[in-house]
Structure 1
């Protein structure tokens, strides 16, 4: 064997050894990848994704995709080689683990949190769409969860509607928090709640919070709404998080209005939505743009506050347009379908 051959053999062996050792190193990062897309105007498991009872519905035409991000599972470790491959892939991203999974978060806790955020986004989408259509959708305060062993445990139940606190009607969760924390620990708070149509009056004695000593009774109030129309949204239960809210709202609006909003176009997007129709930022915008582009979408609706990040998105020929509200999303689609695109704003990626 020549000296050159020996050197190459040793170098090759060292590289193999380094690769083998690197595969055992776990890093405090996770990988974002383009995830699956779901057509919110289509079907899931043989049923329409958007199902409505109590109002007229109209035929839709086209594809309206919600986009997702694949993320390393909370119970999986990321090795160096996998991280390097992701770092070299323009459609993927390596991000610090604690930004996605706070320390101590289990896979089941992450799943439950994402499911809760999805349910909240669906509710907000329903309310935003109905309000855009002119429906009156009154707000209410609902008991979301009761802390085990707290004063409210066994007195209040998830799903109770909080009517008043100390005789004062409440309209938002903040009203409940302010009324309770106005007391000193050990004082009694009177709640009137509606449970399955029956009003109950309950007196609960407060205790001191561990962190700051404020008075509390131990339940989580959350916004609720009395919807005049029954809307059901059915999608793959592996999808979670709040980022499909804006697309859900557009799909509901299209389903409840005459004429096909998309007119056969393939459109995708992402964004949280409030009950008032405001579109908020999300994570993984670049991976969602790539997913939509790979699926053949022609237009991508992105939260305006994510627009700068979209510059790295693999959008191909797909146009990426920023939106701030549900109204923006609908008018953008209308303009795109009509071919009036000169005045449409674009994120840097388009």
Structure 2
């Protein structure tokens, strides 16, 4: 066999071997890509995303789109060829598998966690919007979750209202942890609670729940990665009673990142005039009860998805600005926001056409 032919054959076989290896060898990566965007002012799957009853609402126009990211499943095993293709593609991002599914988290666990975060983001969006409008929202500290096989299991229940710990009144979830950790492991903590059934009955009857009971729980030593401390195995949270009905109808979405856009949509529907001036505005960001906007993941994919749908402006959490500005889709203006007040101010400038006044994202933040 001529030397040139032998060399070509060897090179071809080597290439085939490398290609086969690339297709067969799994790599510890996952893929993120742009997901659907939904107008919080419009309809989704045949019904309004925001449904408000018991309070006057006003017509809206334009777009206030929440954005999403698609991710590969927890059990998907990417090969080398797919990873390289993803790295080269503009509309996807390859990240370490553990970034999306840390500590071996399963698909079911991730879905459940995202659903809980999405539900909480809806509640915070409602509270933030109503607070900004000066509408009173009643709130209280509750048992959000009870850890399986913990000292609290069977004694405290998700939804119980925590009125006091060891006789000291609690006003926010952080108070509960502070009071528990004053104890040493093995000591008793006394919780004064309104049982979840009593609270539910009171809400249904539109009265204040007054029936309380004291529940004693023995602490144990924490077993997480933090400092050793006394714990009982609960996560405290906040629940609210709203003065009228606000429902957010959006299925198959998870995580907390739609909070800002939900809050703005609610605010728009409860106020006369148009927040957007008919413009196409998209955005993202977590939001807390006080209207503070927090960072999210997958910002580059969300801006790509928003622009592909026609967005002109993108409300961007301040902590995501630097990353988003490194590769801004053509025709999209990134607007930096830290609070719901910032977002409302930016929307005022957008509808008035004063884009020069907008606080824009840069690669420095």
Q: Same fold (TM over 0.5)?
A: yes
Residue 24 of structure 2 corresponds to which residue in structure 1?
24
Q: What secondary structure sits across from 2:102 in the alignment?
A: coil
Find out whether 1:329 has 2:343 as its counterpart.
yes
CA distance in 1, matches of 2:328, 2:263: 25
* Aligned counterpart, 2:205: none
Instruction: Identify the match of residue 313 of structure 1 among 321, 324, 327.
Output: 327
In the other structure, the counterpart of 2:171 is 171
The alignment yields a C-alpha RMSD, in angstroms, of 1.9
Per the TM alignment, residue 2 of structure 1 is displaced from its structure 2 partner at its CA by: 6.8
- Determine if contact 1:139/1:171 at 8 Å carries over to the other structure: no
Q: CA deviation digits over 1:24-62, x for unaligned, max 9?
A: 111111112111111111112322101112211111111
**Is there any run of 5+ residues in structure 1 with no aligned partner, and where?**
none
> What stretches of structure 2 of length at least 5 have no aligned partner?
203-208
Equivalent residue number for residue 229 of structure 2: 214
> 2:303 maps to what in 1?
289
1:348 aligned counterpart, secondary structure: coil
Scaled by the length of structure 1, the TM-score of the pair is 0.93
What secondary structure does 2:290 align onto?
coil
1:224 aligns with 2:239: yes
Deviations for 1:60-100, whole angstroms, at most 9, x for unmatched residues?
11122111111121111111111100100122221122222
Q: The residue matched to 2:104 in structure 1 has which SS?
A: coil
Aligned ranges for residues 88-103 of structure 1 at < 5 Å? 88-103=88-103
Deviation at 1:4, TM superposition (A): 4.6
Q: Deviations over 1:302-334 (max 9, x none)?
A: 011111101233421111111111111112112
Q: Does 1:278 align with 2:284?
A: no
Instruction: Tell me: CA distance 1:111–1:346, structure 2 relative to 1, closer, same or farther (3 Å).
Output: same
Deviations 1:247-266 (A, max 9, x none): 11111111111112123211
In the alignment, what sits opposite 2:206? none
Structure 2 match to 1:151: 151
TM-score scaled by length of structure 2? 0.90
- Cα distance in 2 for partners of 1:14, 1:132 equals 65
Moved over 6 A (4+): none
Q: Secondary structure at the match of 2:162?
A: strand
Q: How many residues align?
A: 348
What's the counterpart of residue 247 of structure 1?
261
Q: Is the aligned partner of 1:261 residue 2:294?
A: no
